[in-house]
């Protein structure tokens, strides 16, 4: 498993260094992927049952042309590593449980 705390710290630090506001709520998108649609669908349902806003699964094309399934869990959160890591920890554990891959998170710059 990757070091999600270190990755999260880097993302948050980069956004703040670029001038992104620390006073606003951010739409944080947590990414899940799997080659198996049924397993991905089970993960999406499990995330929904935990109270998360789950986007519809979609087929994605990788750089090598192969296909994979993915969906996002969208959470409003402060631009704070500890706050974001609460969801990362829960969602990464859910991914392991459902045998899919937690593929990190992202958000957008806000002034």
pLDDT tens profile 28-85 = 999 999 999 999 999 999 999 999 999 999 999 999 999 999 999 999 999 999 999 9
Alpha helices in 18-110 (DSSP H): 37-49, 81-98
Instruction: Collapse the DSSP code of 77 into the 3-class scheme (helix H, G, I; strand E, B; otherwise coil) and give the result.
Output: strand
Q: pTM for the full model?
A: 0.91
């Amino acid at each position: 498993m990757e070091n999600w705390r270190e990755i999260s710290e880097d993302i948050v630090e980069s956004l703040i260094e670029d001038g992104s506001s620390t006073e606003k709520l951010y739409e944080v998108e947590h990414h899940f992927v799997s080659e198996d649609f049924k397993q991905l669908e089970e993960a999406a349902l499990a995330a929904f049952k935990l109270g998360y806003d789950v986007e519809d699964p979609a087929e994605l094309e990788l750089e090598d042309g192969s296909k994979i399934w993915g969906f996002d869990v969208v959470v409003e959160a402060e631009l704070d590593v500890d706050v974001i890591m609460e969801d990362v920890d829960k969602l990464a554990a859910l991914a392991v449980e459902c045998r899919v891959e937690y593929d990190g998170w992202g958000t957008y710059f806000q002034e």
